[in-house]
Amino acid sequence: MKLLVGYTADERGAEAIELASAVVAGTKDAFVQIAIVLPATAPFTAIYPGGDHGYETILSAQVDRWAAEALALVPEGIGASVVARSVSSIAEGLIELGEEFEAHGIVLGGRKRHLGGFFMPGAIANALLHSSPLPVFMTSPASLENLREAGGQITRLTAFVGDRPGAEEIISLAARVANARNIKLRVANFVAHADVSEGSAGIDDHVRGIREYLDELVKELGIEASVEVIASGSIDTAINELSWQPGDLALLGSARLAAHRRLFIGPKAHRILGHLNVPMGVIPHLPSTR
């Protein structure tokens, strides 16, 4: 497995490499492709008075040093290389590089930011979440702490699914990943009371219906997975009721709104992203993945 890390020479970058290494560890041809993207030089931004003032030379030397530091962060046994490229937009550049290097996903380090009570992914993560044809993995210091507790090993996959046909894709993909790495799989679904129109009796029926549907799916796919359907007052409280263990990795599917083979993160997934304290991956809506 090969993952492309959008690297910045700070803690976020180091965290992204840590997550990427954990995800690829133990897979066939485990490889971390580190990408340092630079803004394209814009000729119409004239510097007054003229001239580059030697900046390109110094910047490229600095990038070389960052590249060496980044490589040193990748554990033994995992292949790694660095590419540095000037791009017009960072998100688009990462997608291009991901495709060019035939990566199975893009990894970003990040910080949780709350703006007016809402979780906001960074601008770059947000752009990727709405346009990437490749899965996007994200981490934050808290979620990385969870991974470190498990000694940097991923111990379980949790696939978040809706009750919609898209669930099958995510479950089967997650099952293949879990199988390849010999780890457990959990399938989780959240029901917010407000989303169910038939009242409290209706909720029980609704939950039972979903559970049966997911059990059936798991059975049809011939895989082993635990199924958890959690009903609560809101998505937020439902998320908090789900228990986590060290080394968990969450997987979410892209919303149905997404264009074919592109990510698009829905409001519900957005909420989930904001509450998770484990590393997560968002999978585009694909008939099949690499």
Partner 1 sequence: MSQEMRRDSLPETNDSGLHEKGLSKGTVGVLGLIVIGISCIAPAYTLTAGLGATVAEVGTSLPAILIAGFIPMLLVALGYRELNNAMPDSGTSFTWATRAFGPMIGWMGGWGLIAATVIVLSNLAAVAVDFFYILIAQLTGQEWIADLTKNLWINIPTTLVFIAIAAYISYRGMNATKVFQYVLVGFQVGVLLLFAIMAFTADAPFDRTPITWDMFNPAGVESFTAFAAGISLSIFVFWGWDVTLTMNEETTDPNKVPGRGATWTVLIIIALYLAVATAVLYFAGVGTTGLGAGNPDNQESIFAVLAGPVMGPLAILMSLAIMSSSAASLQSTMVSPARTILAMGYYKALPSSFAKISPRYMSPSVATVVSAAAAAAFYVVTRLLSENALWDTITALGLMICFYYGLTALACVWYFRGELFANARNFFFKFLAPLVGGIILLVMFFVTAVDSMKPDYGSGSNIGGVGMVFILGVGVLLLGVLVMLYSRVRHPAFFKGETIKTGKNLIL
Q: List the x/- string, 9-28, binding to partner 1 by CB under 8 A.
A: xx--x---------------
Q: List the x/- string, 131-150, binding to partner 1 by CB under 8 A.
A: --------------------
Helix axes 166-181, 199-221, angle to 10 degrees: 50
Cα–Cα distance for residue pair 16/253, rounded to 1 Å: 21
160 scored as a contact of partner 1 (CB under 8 A):
no
Q: How many residues bind partner 1 (CB under 8 A)?
A: 49
Cα–Cα distance for residue pair 68/265, rounded to 1 Å: 34
Helix (H, G, I), strand (E, B) or coil at 125: helix
Q: What is the largest CA-CA distance in the chain?
A: 74
Which of residues 56 and 99 has its CB atom nearest to partner 1 in the complex?
56
Q: Whole-number minimum distance, CB 139 to partner 1, in Å? A: 16
Which of residues 49 and 116 has its CB atom nearest to partner 1 in the complex?
49
Indicate the pairing of strand 31-39 with strand 2-6.
parallel
Which of residues 84 and 221 has its CB atom nearest to partner 1 in the complex?
84
Helix (H, G, I), strand (E, B) or coil at 127: helix
Which of residues 72 and 201 has its CB atom nearest to partner 1 in the complex?
72
Whether 189 contacts 229, CB under 8 Å: yes
Site for partner 1 in 64-103 (CB under 8 A): 64, 66-68, 71, 74, 76-88
Q: Whole-number minimum distance, CB 123 to partner 1, in Å? A: 11
Candidates 2-10, 112-120, 180-188, 237-245; binding stretch for partner 1 (CB under 8 A):
2-10
Q: List the x/- string, 37-56, binding to partner 1 by CB under 8 A.
A: -xxxxxxxxxxxxxxxxxxx
Residue of 60, 179, 226, 240 that binds partner 1 (CB under 8 A): 60
Burial of 183 (0-12, 13-18, 19+ CB in 10 A): middle
116 scored as a contact of partner 1 (CB under 8 A):
no
Cα–Cα distance for residue pair 174/152, rounded to 1 Å: 19
Q: Whole-number minimum distance, CB 35 to partner 1, in Å? A: 9
Q: Output phi, psi for 169, to 5 deg.
A: -60, -50
- The vertex-223 CA angle with 219 and 225, nearest 5°, equals 90
Q: Whole-number minimum distance, CB 42 to partner 1, in Å? A: 4
Q: Which of 17, 35, 272, 288 is nearest to 159 (CA)?
A: 272
267 scored as a contact of partner 1 (CB under 8 A):
no
Binding region for partner 1 (CB under 8 A) = 8-10, 13, 38-64, 66-68, 71, 74, 76-88
